[in-house]
Amino acid sequence: MNQPRIVVLTGAGISAESGVRTFRDNGGLWEEHRVEDVATPDAWAFDPEMVWRFYQARRRQLLEVQPNGAHLALALLQKNMKQFTLITQNVDDLHERGGSSDVIHMHGELRTLRCEASQRSEVRMQASDLTDDVSLCSCCANPVRMRPDIVWFGEIPMHMEAILNAVETCEVFIVVGSSGHVYPAAGLVDQANNAGARTILVNLEAPVNASAFDEILLGPAGELLPQLVDRLISDND
């Protein structure tokens, strides 16, 4: 049987059951912090220490959390599908640690830092990289400050060409754990619909763009996604 080309887009909700806070739920990160204070280029220019402390705390948290059943289910789906692309808005590394490969991180990654001069990113997760002290790059003759390797509000998401290529040619498009507020990620379902794909949503509550989906599965991703993955695998054996 011809397997469908599957694209999955994940958001903060997929990591919620691992203990990573989402942004816009009750108790989410944006309840405690103003986006303008910690997640914009202006914030970094105005108060780099505050921005640095915010991201260093989140980087340290990576050492304490584990992938959940939803991350593992997507790794299983990838192993069973010939044409599969995983796009995530998440900056954690739980997809990779759950067994997924070639994950496209459109909003950057916590485990890497970026040299402000060369723009080169490198994995920096040693204990000495995780303190509140400034990290200096290893690529420049005169080492310069590194910034979080995160796409802030007002910056262009990463890998957009690869993302659009995958979405515009997919046959099944699945979104997991995203509130549908942040573009361009929230608009990818429209591109998938235009491409004629079947669009499926797995989310705790109906997001703002719920009406764009053909099938909506409401509940915790750790429970619902393994069931959906089993169904997709057995439908396409």
> Catalytic amino acids?
107
Would you say 137 or 174 has its CB closer to ligand APR?
Answer: 174
Report the amino acid identity of residue 207: P
What residues numbered 191-230 form the site for ligand APR, per CB under 6 A? 203-205, 207, 220-221
CB of 182 to ligand APR, least distance (A): 4
CA-to-CA dists, residue 1 to 55, 196, 234, angstroms: 46, 20, 11
The whole-angstrom separation of Cα 192 and Cα 214 is: 11
Q: Which of residues 148-177 bind ligand APR (CB under 6 A)?
A: 177
Residue 126: exposure state from Cβ atoms within 10 A (0-12, 13-18, ≥19):
exposed
Q: Is position 37 an interface residue for ligand APR (rule: CB under 6 A)?
A: no
Choice between 4 and 13, CB closer to ligand APR: 13
Query: Exactly one of 5, 7, 20, 22 binds ligand APR (CB under 6 A); which one?
Result: 22
Nearest-approach distance from CB 196 to ligand APR, in angstroms: 25
Q: How many residues does the chain have?
A: 237
Q: How far is the CB of 14 from ligand APR (least distance, A)?
A: 7
How many C-beta atoms lie closer than 10 Å to residue 55's C-beta? 19
Nearer to ligand APR, 12 or 94 (CB): 12
d(CA 85, CA 106): 13
The residue whose Cβ lies closest to ligand APR is 13
Q: Can you tell me which of 5, 6, 7, 24 binds ligand APR, judged by CB under 6 A?
A: 24
d(CA 102, CA 32): 33
Cα–Cα distance between 186 and 128 in angstroms, integer? 36
- Using CB under 6 A as the binding rule, whether residue 23 contacts ligand APR is answered as yes
CB 189 within 8 A of CB 175: yes
| Beta-strand relationship, 104-105 and 121-123 | unpaired
At its nearest, how many Å lie between ligand APR and the CB of residue 47? 18
| Closest distance of CB 70 from ligand APR, Å | 7
Residue 78 is a binding residue for ligand APR (CB under 6 A): no
The first and second tokens of residue 192, run together, are 């998938």
Contact residue for ligand APR among 6, 9, 13, 51 (CB under 6 A): 13
Name residue, tokens 């990779």: 96
Which residues in this chain contact ligand APR in the complex, by CB under 6 A?
Answer: 11-13, 16-17, 22-25, 28, 89, 107, 177-179, 181-182, 203-205, 207, 220-221
